Amino acid sequence: MTLTTEQSAAEQFWSDADRHLVRYGGAFTPEIIERAAGSFVYTADGRQILDFTSGQMSAILGHCHPAIVQTVQREIASLDHLFSGMLSRPVVDLARRLAESLPPPLEKALLLTTGAESNEAAIRMAKLVTGKHEVVAFAKSWHGMTHAAAAATYSAGHRGYGPTPPGNFAIPTPNPYRPDFTTSDGELDWQRQLDFGFALVDAQSSGSLAACIVEPILSSGGIIEPPPGYFAALARKCRERGMLLIVDEAQTGLCRTGTWYAFQRDGIVPDILTLSKTLGAGLPLAAVITTEEIEQRAHERGYLFYTTHVSDPLVAAVGNTVLDVLQQEQMDLRARELGEFLRAGLLDIRDRHAVVGDVRGRGLMQGIELVLDRETRDGSDVLDAQVTHRCLELGLHMNVVQLPGMGSTFRIAPPLTTTREELALGLEILDQAIGEAAPA
């Protein structure tokens, strides 16, 4: 194919995309992706791009992992999709193995497809079991774009869509870098903030509080990790009000943060756990996991959550393979060690660039927040866009979260299979991009 022909094909591609695709968020990345392997994606014009977001924060084993490829090729030839009332061995095996990976009494699993769907199912279950309807979430949360999940999402997506279901309340996000309640030394006073948040909830509640849904590390909210002790106190607030605690580990679950589940750091056990993204390693697989008591009560009250792909065998087989690889290669330890390497590199970048205000996160889920001034902590959409664009030019895909009233945080979540050399390459490119884009 001649250069002219290649250019013509690319122009036709973007013309077709512009004419026929519904735009569903930010702008599309200006590259045609032909294939992906490991920690890299490859463009139609032959460029190699290091993927620091694991696709949509999902491909924790990298792109096209040989074990995943083998499982899909094998299973698609024998068992792909079934009627929702039929069961297969991969589904039951995955439910059992997820229960074995979790602390008791979490032992009952519902296998679905996406994070929004799993959160929808969890909230629906909590409402039915408690007989109540009100839901509490963080003010910078993201739980999905379906009905109940979107109502509990406050980082984006409300404006212009009309009223949400009644009984949805936001509490302040405990952000140590941008504290709204402070101690005498200027640190985040998270206990006072939490008390204030629930005082507002209590004032607005009709006495029908069903659940609180939270991410252990808020990803779309800007890689915000509540301080140690916060979630234990939040769990007490829920118990005092007869609420169920739903923990959404779409991005943090399955070894990414250096432990199998991020909630383990805080010594709590949620009433309902939701998994997605990482469970399918890039394929559409999600799970709702709860206790026998809650499942029994839900069943007695007629819990209904039929979906087209509930308990699908093909993706369940993939989920089992994901667990195999995570266990055999001790990916929790790997994420912890590589996370320390990544964090050290990010701290070094912060020390050399005044526009890096904060570095935070855990394991292979890290964030850096860019600011124009470390004292005022004011952000700049222009600077963020320049850094993102330059990173892509240099061969690194980055994702930046830009929210009103906050700076802008780059989410860094490379595959757990990444190497030190790949991390070092990404850090080198990011360092160069910030240096070139930052104001003198």
Report the catalytic residues.
142, 215, 248, 251, 277, 411
Residue pair 229/241 in contact by the 8 Å Cβ criterion: no
Residue pair 44/238 in contact by the 8 Å Cβ criterion: no
Residue pair 368/359 in contact by the 8 Å Cβ criterion: yes
Residue pair 139/172 in contact by the 8 Å Cβ criterion: yes
CA distance 303 to 285: 21
Q: Which two tokens stand for residue 406?
A: 């906050």
The answer to whether the Cα torsion of 69, 75, 76, 82 is positive or negative is: negative
**Residue by residue, what is the 3-state secondary structure of the chain?**
CCHHHHHHHHHHHHHHHHHHCCCCCCCCCCCCEEEEEECEEEECCCCEEEECCHHHHCCCCCECCHHHHHHHHHHHCCCCCCCCCCCCHHHHHHHHHHHHCCCCCEEEEEEECCHHHHHHHHHHHHHHHHCCCEEEEECCCCCCCCHHHHHCCCCCCCCCCCCCCCCEEEECCCCCCCCCCECCCCCECHHHHHHHHHHHHHHHCCCCEEEEEECCCECCCCCECCCCCHHHHHHHHHHHCCCEEEEECCCCCCCCCCCCCHHHHHCCCCCEEEECHHHHECECCEEEEEEHHHHHHHHHCCCCCCCCCCCCHHHHHHHHHHHHHHHHCCHHHHHHHHHHHHHHHHHHHHHHCCCEEEEEEECCEEEEEECCCCCCCCCCHHHHHHHHHHHHHHCEECEEEECCCCCEEEEECCCCCCCHHHHHHHHHHHHHHHHHHCCC
